[in-house]
Every structure is written in C-alpha cells, then in structure tokens.
Structure 1
C-alpha cells in the first residue's frame, strides 16, 4: 500500500533524524547496556566475594576453637588480601589484633588495627578499629604512640560513637597526667552517653569509674 504524502514526509523526517543522530543514539545505548552489565556483574561479584569470605572466616573461627594461632592469623591475612571490601576482613582483623595482643605481639596487633581502621567498609567496625587502635597506642605509651593516637582522635567521630571518642580522648590525656583535660573529656563523654540510651550499662559504669578517678562530675 503506497504511503500518502503526510506519512512519506514523516518517514523522511525520521530517516533524516536517524542519519544525523544515529552515532549518538548508538553510543548512549551502548553505554547504558555496558552500565547494566557492569552493575549485574558487580552484584554477582559482590555476592560471590561475600560467600567465599564467609567460608574463610569459618576456617578462622575453627582455628580459634582449636587454639591454632598461626592458622588464625593466616586466615585474617588472606581475608585482608583477597576480600578486603567485605565485612569479614575487618571482623577478622579485629579478632586477630586481640589474639596477637594477648600473645604479646603488640606490633602485629597494631598492624591489624591500623588496617581495619583504614579499610573497614562497615561504620561499626571502622569505629571499633579506631577506638581500639587508640587504646593500644596509649597502652604502648611512647611519644610517637601518643602522636599517632592524637591524629586518629582528631578525625571526625563515626556517627553514634561520639561519646566513646570523647572518652578515649580522656584516656589520652590521663595517660599523660593531664588530669584536668581528662576530666573535661570524660564529662563531655558522660553527657553524650547520657543521651545515647542504646549504650550498654557496662559502658556507663566504666566511664563513671574513670570520672570518679579524676574527681567526679562537676556540678
């Protein structure tokens, strides 16, 4: 059936439009398709990574149960190396830091904590790593350790952990016998903690002990 004049005109306009913009249209479609493929592939990769990481984490847990320190730390190292973007890597690093510290290897413990404090993908693990790193550095007690701890504490607190950040700053002052500054930080932490009802009672009791040690809450 032959086209009438109006249909022919529309067809000619469409052909002209396609001739003018076909490269742009093809390019946009290609980008969209690649983006979708990349997203789908990333979703598969992420799920696969989490599955493989969980298996390695289970291996680590089994090694802990058997008291196999070497295998435990090796699993933590492998999780850091191969599955750094999964929560399992940060979790295992925190556990490995505790094991290394209990074994008297503070340098190794600090390495695990520094890694988690830099690479943890979960805010909770990130905050815990930084707070424990500061505590370990304070325990070390050298001028260099205090300086590193100070740098960590000067970072913005992870949301929800402001009270513990202030408490750790108080520990930092107290370790250097700056009792007045320690008391101020503990008092600020107490006010924050008093507003955060979700914190366990043990955290309040521990902070209260520290406050009492420097003279209690100022009325």
Structure 2
C-alpha cells in the first residue's frame, strides 16, 4: 500500500534524523550495554571475592582456636592483600592487631590498625580501627605517637561514634597530664553518651571512672 504524502514526509524525516545522529545513537547504546555488562561483572566479582574471603577468614578463626599466631597473622595479611575491598579484611586486621598487641608486638599491631583505619569501608569497623589506633598510640606515649593520635582526633568523628571520639580526646589530654582539658572532654563525651542509648552500660561505667579520676561530674 503506497504511502500518502504526509506519511512519506515523516519517513523521509526519520531517515534524515537517523543519517545525522546514527553514530551518536549507536555510541550511547553501546555505552549503556557496556555499563550494564560491567555492573553485572562487578556484581559477580564482588560475590566471588566475598566467598573466597569468607573461606580465608574461616581459616583464620580456626588458627585462632588452635592458638596458631603465625597462621592467624598470615591469614590477616592475605586478606589485606587479596581481598581488601571485602569487610573481612578490616575485620581480620582488627583481630590481628589485638593478637599482635597481646604478644607484645606493638609495631605490628599499629600496622594492622593503620591499615584498617585507612581501608575499612564499613563505618563501624572504621571507627573502631581509629579509636583503637588512638589508644595504642597514646599507650606508646612518644611525642610522635601523640602527634599521630592528635591528627586522627582532629578529623571528623564517624557518625554515631562522637562520644567515643571525645572520650579518646580526653585520654589524649590525660596522658599528657592536662587534667582540666581531659575533664572537659570526658564531660562532653558523657553528654553525648547519655544521648546514645545503644551504647552498652559498660561503656558508661568506664567513662564514669575516668570522670571521677579527673574530678569531673557526670551530668
């Protein structure tokens, strides 16, 4: 059935439009397909990585149960190296830091904590790594350690962990015998902690002990 003049004109316009923009249209479609394929591939890779990381983490847990420090730390190192983007890597680094610290290897413990504080994508692990790193540095007690701890504490607190941030600042002051500043930080931490009902009672008791030590009052 022959086209009438109006239909023929529309067809000619469509052909002209396609001739003018076909490279752009084809390019956009190609990019969209490539993006979808990349996303699908990334999802598969991420799931595969998580599965492999979980197996290695189970190996680490078994090593801990056996009291095998070397295998435990080796598993943590492998998780850092091969599965850094999974939650298992910072989680294992925090555990390894505790084991290294208990074994008297504070330098190794600091390395694990620094790695977790830099690479953890989960806010809880990130906050825990930074707070434990600050505590370890304060315990070391050198001028360089205090400076590194101060730099961390000057950063923006992780949301939900403001009270602990202030408490560590109080610890930082107290270790340098700046009791008044420590008292102020502890009291500010207490106010924040009082608003955060999800924190365990043990955290409140510990902060209360620190407040009492510097002559502060829990308000």
For normalisation by structure 1, the TM-score amounts to: 0.98
Query: What is the SS of the residue equivalent to 1:121?
Result: coil
1:114 CA drift (Å): 0.1
1:8 CA drift (Å): 1.4
Within 2, Cα distance between the matches of 1:191 and 1:218? Answer: 8
1:3 CA drift (Å): 1.9
Within 1, Cα distance between the matches of 2:218 and 2:138? Answer: 26
CA contact (8 A) 2:113 2:129 kept: yes
Within 2, Cα distance between the matches of 1:42 and 1:121? Answer: 17
Matched with 1:205 is 205
CA contact (8 A) 2:76 2:93 kept: yes
Within 1, Cα distance between the matches of 2:146 and 2:5? Answer: 85
Within 2, Cα distance between the matches of 1:110 and 1:212? Answer: 30
1:11 CA drift (Å): 1.1
For normalisation by structure 2, the TM-score amounts to: 0.98
Matched with 1:161 is 161
Aligned residues: 219
Within 1, Cα distance between the matches of 2:185 and 2:206? Answer: 14
RMSD in angstroms over aligned alpha carbons?
0.9
Matched with 1:90 is 90
Matched with 2:76 is 76
Instruction: Show structure 1 runs of 4+ deviating over 3 A.
Output: none
Within 1, Cα distance between the matches of 2:117 and 2:218? Answer: 34
CA spacing shift, 1:99–1:218, aligned 2, 3 Å: closer
Q: Which runs of 5+ in 1 are unaligned?
A: none
Query: What is the SS of the residue equivalent to 1:158?
Result: coil
CA spacing shift, 1:109–1:218, aligned 2, 3 Å: closer
Matched with 2:152 is 152
Matched with 2:194 is 194
Matched with 2:19 is 19
CA contact (8 A) 2:208 2:218 kept: no
Within 1, Cα distance between the matches of 2:216 and 2:144? Answer: 30
1:218 CA drift (Å): 7.2
* 1:115 and 2:111 matched: no
1:105 CA drift (Å): 0.2
Give per-residue Cα distances to partners, 1:10-61, cap 9 Å, x unaligned.
Answer: 1111110000000110011011111111111111111111111101000000
Within 2, Cα distance between the matches of 1:178 and 1:208? Answer: 18
* 1:172 and 2:172 matched: yes
Within 2, Cα distance between the matches of 1:17 and 1:172? Answer: 69
Matched with 1:138 is 138
Matched with 1:100 is 100
* 1:67 and 2:67 matched: yes
CA contact (8 A) 2:211 2:218 kept: no
Q: Which runs of 5+ in 2 are unaligned?
A: none
